[in-house]
Amino acid sequence: MIQSRTHTCNELTIANVGEKVTLVGWYDNLRKVSKNLGFLILRDFYGVTQLVIETEELMQALNGVNNESTLQIEGVVRERSNKNPNIATGDIEVVPDKIEVLGNCIYNELPFEINRSTEADENLRLKYRYLDLRNPGVKSKIVLRSRIVAELRQRMTDLGFLEITTPILTCSSPEGARDYLVPSRVHPCKFYALPQAPQQFKQILMASGFDRYFQIAPCFRDEDARADRSPGEFYQLDMEMAFASQEDVFSVVEEVLPAVFEKYGVYKAASKAPFVRIPFLEAMDKYGSDKPDLRIDLLVQDATEVLADCGFEPFKGNVVKAIVVDRFGATRKVIDKICNDVEVQSGNKAYWFKLDENGELVGGISKFLVDKKDNIVKALGLKPGDFIGLTCGTKLKAQKTAGVLRNMLGANCEAHMKKDCYEFCWIVDFPMYEIGEESGELEFCHNPFSMPQGGIDALNHQDPLEILAYQYDLVCNGVELSSGAVRNHDPAIMVKAFNLVGLGEEDVKAKFPAMYNAFCYGAPPHAGIAPGVDRMIMLITGEDSIKEIIPFPMNKSAMDVMMNAPAAVEQKQLDDVHIQIKKEDLEEKA
């Protein structure tokens, strides 16, 4: 039947007046005027067309037909007397002589109004996602996603990258998150793992002689949901380059991404190459974050020396950070909300005071600072009218809290935030190692496959905590889009790097046998990155939640409420893969 459609519901114009046409689509709504007159809106994937029912027979044919049923309409196009400039077909209407129901909606009431589905409860939307996606606004995000992915593919191909798909069933690998495990039927008591990323495969491809690889790669991590992270699975623009340096990777990303953001984004301006590069330690000092939003022009200052002994107890013995904001006309209510939101997000309090127009310290914790006014004004470079936000704690805690406060202040002060653009930056020179918060032992700071700056010499002679890695993050508008690195392709350097965290050569061989062995046959220097597709599209569309740009997202509990997943399976299926569920596990869940 669909093959007989002559036009879509977004296609007819004044030029089609007088033509006999066939349309198909969903029964959007019907406004009945009388028993022989009504105005029916037909909606398909492309748009809407108004139909004018002018016979009692056709009006009766629609009796008992519910909204969202699918219809086939045959009729004649005529010019509308009251044109609608808000739709593409607003100059015409179709007068049908035949209406056929192709698929009946058997429910009189819908779980929500289609065009207002985004106002419904999230779980209700996800349960009836097929109805939610009929909302033109929701659908448009998924259509845009398809176009963006196609554009990314084309641009990567044009730059000489070869799209290669890597396995979904692989081995468990310590990537930093929990694996999704898949039991093997033919190998009892053994498991596949869904890849957290194609990391090892793409590096092996470089050792295999491929020069430029990419794919829109599915990745699977058993992580909790966040506004910018979907639980379970996500996609990334995964790429790797042989005989390449950090500069080569930067060059490709700076050529591909800004053009895509400008073409499809809600903002039409994006950073031009080269992006700003900020060393990790500098980013933490200046912005209180390793993913700074450069649209905000506020900077974090160190105020420890001038404020730590001011008599305010929380500052005593702690690092103190300050953010000075001029032209900040917020009310006390707004300031209190900012401080409360900072505490909710960071788990640490924020404080404040002002230098009024008369040059006096007022508000907040000002009573503790009066005796040090002149020193504070000089140290922080204050001017009458300035607002000063403060954080304290250990150095890292004070920095991170200041980073949250900086974002809050920027969002509440238009004079200090340029909102209508995409500001990219590179965070570079990450530490190779750190002391683990839980273990208290030396651990890799980020990717264990990164090349240390200075190579084997640095590993042999430098303090491990001072060694930097060729590791970099791509950040846009305060959102981390990706981590990347120049890879450690030398087996000797790799073994030494793992030695420092207490792992020997045999451990490296056991954990990464294929990659380690491949590198022993002569691997090229290589580097790569993998910007998150979902996060990029979230930024491009201006959405606050990543769920809005994923066709079938899970809810906050990592459940697909539409498909009822995860779900119990039959005992035979468990037997096939040699799995036995403990009785006590079932009792705990009951």
Tell me which DSSP letter residue 527 carries: E
* Residue 446, pLDDT score: 80
> Is the per-residue pLDDT at 585 higher than 70?
no
* Residue 1, pLDDT score: 46
> Is the per-residue pLDDT at 411 higher than 80?
yes
> Is the per-residue pLDDT at 2 higher than 70?
no
174-203 tens-digit pLDDT: 656 889 999 999 999 999 999 999 999 999
Q: What is the DSSP string of 157-222?
A: HHTTPEE----SSB----SSSPPPEEE-SSSTT-EEE--S-SHHHHHHHHHTT--EEEEEEEEEE-
363-407 tens-digit pLDDT: 999 999 998 999 999 999 999 999 999 999 999 999 999 999 999
> Is the per-residue pLDDT at 582 higher than 90?
no
* Residue 175, pLDDT score: 59
Q: Which two tokens stand for residue 257?
A: 């991404």
* Residue 436, pLDDT score: 87
Query: Strands, E, within 356-462: which ranges?
Result: 361-362, 387-393, 424-428, 433-435, 442-444
7-22 tens-digit pLDDT: 999 999 999 999 999 9
Domains and CATH numbers, the chain: 2-103 (2.40.50.140), 139-275+424-558 (3.30.930.10), 296-416 (3.30.1360.30)
Percent of the chain with pLDDT over 90: 88
The CA distance from 432 to 169, in Å, is 30
Percent of the chain with pLDDT over 70: 98
* Residue 510, pLDDT score: 87
Q: What is the DSSP string of 326-386?
A: SS----HHHHHHHHHHHHHHHSS-EEEEEE-TTS-EESTTGGGTGGGHHHHHHHHT--TT-
Q: What are phi and psi of 411, to 5 degrees?
A: -65, -25
End-to-end CA distance of the chain: 49
Pairing of strands 162-163, 212-221: parallel
Residues 6+ apart with CB under 8 A from 418: 295, 297
Q: Over range 557-568, report the average pLDDT.
A: 93
> Is the per-residue pLDDT at 300 higher than 50?
yes
* Residue 253, pLDDT score: 98
Q: Over range 455-474, report the average pLDDT.
A: 96
196-240 tens-digit pLDDT: 999 999 999 999 999 999 999 999 999 888 777 888 899 999 999
Residues 6+ apart with CB under 8 A from 570: none
485-498 tens-digit pLDDT: 999 999 999 999 99
Nearest by Cα to 71 from 101, 39, 94, 50: 101
Directed axis angle between helix 136-158 and helix 246-264, to 10°?
140
Q: Which two tokens stand for residue 376?
A: 């504070």
The pLDDT mean for the chain works out to 94
Q: What is the pTM of this model?
A: 0.92
- Helix H or strand E segment including 490: none
* Residue 588, pLDDT score: 61
* Residue 226, pLDDT score: 78
